[in-house]
Amino acid sequence: MNTFNEMVEKIAAQVRSSNIVEIEDIPNIDLYMDQVTTFMDKCLAQYKRYDDDKVLTKTMINNYTKAKIFPAPVKKKYSRTHLMLLIMIYHLKSILSIKDIGVLFQSALSEPNKMKQERMIESVYKGFVSLQKQTLTYLVGAAEGRPDESFYGKESILMYDDDETKRIMMTLALAIRANMEKQLAEKVLDLYL
């Protein structure tokens, strides 16, 4: 049987080894649906609780499109903007309802200018990655018994000028933290109880 300290170190090591999908990791070419699901499975597999859990399925992606929280593919191909949205949706869906995710991304998705829409989504994704990194740092400290009580992702939120983006970033910060803490609680349950 592991001691409590061994358990804490093992969990901290798992948190430290978490892989965040950086913007540079996302392909610059458009992908077909099967390629999208393969990419997502590869990048997000570590977040599955059980081996037979699905990261994203074709049906899920189609349902996100029908719910208008995800733009339709262009000629059956998905852009890197689509992939950024799918990664964020994957991390948010266990914390926020599909309707809430739609509200969160509404300002970007309703932008009629395609180039401006892509820049908005890329900007939000960059903030999302930054918030994930801050949350991982926070959780490693918490797992090791030294939580940083000041964590709110404040640096990543205040760097934006407009209030709409600040509200999106605040929502993302809270959802990311809640999701990662939920996953950490599940790991403890699965490993030790």
Domain boundaries defined on the chain:
4-192
- State the distance between the two ends of the chain, measured CA to CA, in whole angstroms: 12
pLDDT value of position 134 = 85
pLDDT value of position 181 = 83
DSSP strand pairing (77-78 vs 31-32): antiparallel
Contacts of 161 (CB under 8 A, 6+ apart): none
Going by C-alpha positions, the residue among 43, 125, 93 that lies closest to residue 35 is 43
CA distance 38 to 15: 24
CB contact at 8 A, 83 and 112:
no
Claim: this prediction has a pTM higher than 0.85: no
CA distance 41 to 48: 9
Using 50, 70 and 90 to split pLDDT, how confident is the model at 29?
very high
Q: pLDDT tens across 121-171, in order?
A: 999 999 999 988 888 887 777 666 665 655 555 566 667 778 788 788 878
Q: pLDDT tens across 50-96, in order?
A: 888 889 999 999 999 998 888 999 999 999 999 999 999 999 998 99
Going by C-alpha positions, the residue among 71, 169, 175 that lies closest to residue 114 is 71
Using 50, 70 and 90 to split pLDDT, how confident is the model at 1?
very low
Q: Is the model more confident about 33 or about 11?
A: 33
Q: Per-residue pLDDT averaged across 8-21, rounded? A: 73
